[in-house]
Amino acid sequence: MDIIVCVKQVPVTAEAEVMVDSSGRDIKKDRLVFDVNEADNYAVEEALQLTEKFGGTITLVNLGPESADKTLRSLLAKGTHEAVRLTDEHFDESDAYVTARILAAALKSLSYDLVLTGCYSSDLGYSQVGAALAELLGIPHATMVIGLEVLDGKIKVERELEGGTHERLEIDLPALLTIQTGINEPRYASILGLRKAMKKPIKVLTLTDLGLAEGEVGRDGSKVFLDTLSVPPKGEGAQILEGGPDEVSQKLVDIFREKGVV
C-alpha cells in the first residue's frame, strides 16, 4: 500500500507568548521553535502502521521553506521512505484552496493508494486543504478520521462528528483521509535515527517543476488573503486573583460563596 502524507511545519505556540509582528499579518517567529503540525504527526503514524502491516512506501509531501527539512528529517527518521518539499517564493500567501492546488500538482506524478493529511493545521486552522485536495485529485475523501480498517480495494473509516457522534463509512481506494489527533500514539524519532535520516535525500520542486503559472498561486491565485492579525482586546469582568496558592484558593472560595456557587 503506497501512501502519501501531506505534512506541514508549524511554530510551537502552546506555551509561548504569541505576538503580532510589524507587518501585522504574521506572528513574531524569531523566538519560536518549529515542529510537525500535530494532526499531521498522527497521519504519519497511521501511515507507518499501515505499511508495517501491508507493505508499501510512504512519501511525505510538504509545502514550505527550506527550514522545513528539519521536520521532514524527523519524520523520515521514524521510517517514512521519501520526502518531497515544494518551495517557491511565489507560493507565499497561498490560501487553503491554492495550497491544495500546489499539492495536487505535486501528487499528479506520484502513484498512491491512499493520501493522508492532518485534519487541520495548528497555526491557521482552516481545515480545508484535505477536502479541496481530494476534489482536485478526483478521489473520494473522509475528514476527521479517528479509526480505519483496510478492506480489499476499499477502506472503512470512522469519523468524529459533533456531540460525540461517530460516522462509519466505506470508501473506494484510492482515497484521501484527514486524520484527527488521538487515532493512534505517534512514535518517537531518536536522535540516532535522525542522524541516519540526514543521509536520505529530500526532493525539492518549484513552481515551474510543478507546471504551474505565477498567477495560479500565492496571493494572486488566492481568493482569500490574510488582512490583519490582532490580539483580542482585553475584555471586561475578568478578575485576576493575586497571591500564593493558599491565599488565591481562599479568595476563590470566598467568591464562590458570595455568588452562591457553593
Binding site for other proteins (CB under 8 A): 12, 14-17, 31-33, 35, 52, 78-79, 185-195
* Residue 179 · residue 117 · CB < 8 Å: yes
Closer residue to other proteins in complex, CB, 16/202: 16
Helix and strand element counts for the chain (H, E):
7, 11
Least separation in angstroms between residue 196's CB and other proteins is 10
Residue 42's SS3 state is helix
DSSP assigned state of 27: B
In whole angstroms, the minimum distance from the beta carbon of 52 to other proteins comes to: 7
User: How far is residue 80's CA from residue 41's CA, in Å, rounded to a whole number?
Assistant: 12
Closest distance to other proteins from the beta carbon of 192 (Å): 4
Distance CA 124, CA 127 (A): 9
Shortest Cβ distance from residue 49 to other proteins (Å)?
9
Chain position carrying cell 493558599: 246
- Judged by beta carbon, residue 190 or residue 208, the one nearer other proteins is 190
Q: Of 103 and 183, which has the nearer Cβ to other proteins?
A: 183
Decide whether 89 or 185 has the Cβ nearer to other proteins: 185
Q: Measuring CA to CA, which residue among 92, 45, 43, 79 is closest to residue 219?
A: 92
